[in-house]
């Protein structure tokens, strides 16, 4: 079963102590000094106020890693806290999803296959984050390479093999500010950064569906045979 952790970005008129106190009313105890397996609340200077200028405290609530079913339950709890308190989410706020499917399986994931299956650019567009500088899509690069391949007179290999080799440059995979951050893959998890934007706390069903899809796509991308037909179909569509 997958393990999932969230990073909730928001602004608020509450102080950090008030946020911690309110969260405890929802059953979430923030313990910054308890390490990796505790809830944490940290400041985030990249978050800006948009609608309510008194909401000037940029926060990031970081969850511990949890089994996916528990993680989705806690996602709903945090969204409830955000809706019922003076909290704003806007174009500068994201919801980052950190996920693993087991250390060994996560390390086996083929990045180009995962990006194609997830269709990170389409997900980012749905949340109006496709042009956000902190989560630029990988799929745009794969699309360019697919079109380039389609124009080659002497094709060196199948399209899927070409994309696997040339679709994503190593420096792009090491870049944190992408829709999918592969920088921690060697440590056994990936970060999905394309969810967020204004009032994302009101989109629980859609986000929960995306989280489950991320898990499914990760499992297929770690398997040499699963999902290959879907990858070929999508790449051919990109190349056309």
pLDDT digit string (tens) for 134-171? 888 998 899 999 999 999 999 999 999 999 899 998 88
- pLDDT-based confidence at 128, cuts 50/70/90? very high
Q: Which two tokens stand for residue 74?
A: 């806690």
Distance CA 230, CA 211 (A): 19
- The average confidence (pLDDT) of the chain is 94
Mean pLDDT within 131-135: 85
The domain containing residue 129 runs over which residues? 3-239
Mean pLDDT within 10-33: 95
- Residue with the two structure tokens 């940290």: 42
The answer on pLDDT for 12 being more than 90 is yes
Distance CA 108, CA 30 (A): 34
Closest CA to 3 of 104, 124, 97, 118: 97
131/221: higher pLDDT: 221
Number of domains in the chain: 1
pLDDT at 132: 85
Q: Which two tokens stand for residue 52?
A: 């309510």
Q: What pTM was estimated for this model as a whole?
A: 0.94
Alpha helices in the chain (DSSP H): 16-25, 68-84, 103-108, 111-118, 120-126, 139-150, 159-166, 170-173, 204-221, 228-239
pLDDT at 53: 78
pLDDT digit string (tens) for 29-79? 999 887 778 999 999 988 988 777 789 999 999 999 999 999 999 999 999
Residues 6+ apart with CB under 8 A from 73: none
Mean pLDDT within 79-107: 97
């Amino acid at each position: 079963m997958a393990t999932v952790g969230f990073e909730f970005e928001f602004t608020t008129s509450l102080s950090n102590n008030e946020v911690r106190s309110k969260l405890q009313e929802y059953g979430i105890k923030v313990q910054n000094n308890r390490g990796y397996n505790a809830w944490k609340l940290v400041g985030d200077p990249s978050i800006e106020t948009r609608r309510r200028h008194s909401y000037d405290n940029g926060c990031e609530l970081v969850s511990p890693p949890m089994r996916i079913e528990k993680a989705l339950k806690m996602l709903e709890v945090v969204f409830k806290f955000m809706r019922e308190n003076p909290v704003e989410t806007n174009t500068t706020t994201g919801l980052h999803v950190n996920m693993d499917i087991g250390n060994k399986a996560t390390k086996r994931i083929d990045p180009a296959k995962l990006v194609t299956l997830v269709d990170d650019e389409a997900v980012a567009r749905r949340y109006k984050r496709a042009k956000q500088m902190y989560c630029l899509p990988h799929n745009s690069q794969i699309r360019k390479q697919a079109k380039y391949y389609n124009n080659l007179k002497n094709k060196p290999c199948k399209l899927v093999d070409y994309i696997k080799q040339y679709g994503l440059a190593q420096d792009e995979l090491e870049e944190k500010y992408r829709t999918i951050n592969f920088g921690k893959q060697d440590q056994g998890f990936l970060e999905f950064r394309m969810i967020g934007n204004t009032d994302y706390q009101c989109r629980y069903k859609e986000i929960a569906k995306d989280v489950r899809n991320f898990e499914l796509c990760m499992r297929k991308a770690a398997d040499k045979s699963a999902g290959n037909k879907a990858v070929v179909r999508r790449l051919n569509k990109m190349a056309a």
